[in-house]
Copies of this chain bind each other. A is one copy, B any other.
Amino acid sequence: MANASSATKDAALATAAELLVERADTILAANQADVSRAEAAGVAPSVVDRLRLSEARIEGMAAGLRLVAALPDPVGETLAGWRRPNGLEIRQVRVPLGVVGVIYENRPNVTSDAAALCLKAGNATMLRGSSAAIASNLAVAAVLREACDKVGLGADAVCLVEDTSRESATAFMRLQGVIDCLIPRGGPSLISAVLEQATVPYVIDGAGNCHVYVDASADLDMATAIVVNGKTQRPSVCNATESLVVHRDIAGKWLPELADALPTVTLVGDEEALRVVGSPRMAPATEEDWGTEYLDLRLSVRVVADLNEAIEHVRRYGTGHTEAIVTRDRSAARRFQREIDAAAVVVNASTRFTDGEEYGFGAEIGISTQKLHARGPMGLAALTTTKYLVDGDGQIRS
């Protein structure tokens, strides 16, 4: 698998895309079984919706496979190379991780999206989806396995765990020596299960309590556009804006304008923000608000005296995902970018851009909020490791 050519891997992805569309009826029938079971069990409609496939969603999955096939192969890239005084030539080259485990929740499209990225990076994939989606996942995995088999990679290049018991999830996270890297794709309870139970190496796609700090010197129309976009364009995702920090000098003038521009958003604020915006448009923020990733149409608002206080607030409550400043002051921008420790530190743009496709990676397997291995949007490179190739002509160490 690790030594498969790009052509073979791309052929597997193209074949899988074709088969997905060809087998849409089988996949939809399997999916209907999952959906009916969930509905009978009284599962929330929003959860059922995540579970539900359609012809259009299957076309989308196939398009995703073709998109990944079209991306450059990360394997074999030379990252650095140099010659030592003794004549040894050293190259650091990208190689696959080996076996990537993906544990995820109810979306059956993750089955093909995640496997495609792992496969393109030369990894074998072990998938462990939810019990609710098992029939759908098996149907999608069967297609992926058939495609891998057809091009000679072997069906086991993609494996799906059939046992969806809680015990199997725990066992999956503890496959030391089998799984080289575990990637959880799901909500806070999945993430904390991995943090507590996993013994294999993992990359965490954690919470985003993302702030926008609007500086005294900000272009206020720009600030409004950036906060409205960050908060409302897609509130349920990790790079949505959750908290606003505003410089005192502009709070009085700008916060009422902003409140008008966010008619669907619940606002909570500190005393000073409350004085400006007034009740009932704004409610008092509690200590808990500052640390909460709402993933909803709700925004906390804090007024600060200066950049120091803003940086202190973001350091205290941020989760290291994405933090933004809106400013015309070059020195404030530089200080914010230098002193805030997060995967992405943004000047004069929406927090929503922290994303593999927006960064130009073509696709993403997730957004890492940890510091080791990968940090921020993870494209194909995050699914690889490196090795050193050392070439000599008889060198020995003295």
Contacts and interface: CB of A to CB of B under 8 A. Distances in A.
Interface in A347-398: 347-350, 352-354, 358-360, 370-373, 375-377, 385-398
B346 A392 contact: yes
Contacts of A97: 371-372
B219 A339 contact: no
Interface string A225-239: 110111001000000
A350 B389 contact: no
Contacts of A233: 396-398
A88 B351 CA distance: 12
B203 A343 contact: no
Nearest to A392: B349
A305 interface: no
Interface in A202-259: 203, 219, 222, 225-226, 228-230, 233
A113 to B, nearest CB: 20
A73 interface: no
A266 interface: no
Contacts of A316: none
A392 B376 CA distance: 18
B229 A98 contact: no
A226 B392 CA distance: 11
Interface size class of A (residues with CB under 8 A): 35 or more
A359 B199 CA distance: 31
A21 interface: no
A98 B387 contact: no
B3 A338 contact: yes
A391 B325 CA distance: 10
B394 A387 contact: no
Given A88-B353, A360-B82, A371-B201, A394 B222 contact: yes
Contacts of A228: 396
B394 A225 contact: yes
Nearest to A97: B371
B2 A396 contact: no
A370 B377 CA distance: 22
Given A371-B385, A372-B372, A397-B358, A391 B347 contact: yes
Given A201-B370, A352-B396, A397-B353, A390 B346 contact: yes
A131 interface: no
A344 B395 CA distance: 15
A181 interface: yes
A195 B174 CA distance: 11
Nearest to A221: B394
Contacts of A341: 2, 95, 98, 387
The 9 closest A-B pairs by CB, nearest first: A349-B392, A229-B396, A371-B385, A372-B373, A352-B397, A222-B394, A349-B395, A346-B390, A373-B373
Given A84-B360, A344-B387, 19 more contacts: A3-B339, A180-B371, A195-B199, A201-B370, A219-B394, A225-B394, A226-B396, A229-B396, A342-B387, A343-B388, A344-B389, A345-B388, A347-B391, A348-B392, A349-B393, A349-B395, A349-B396, A372-B372, A376-B386
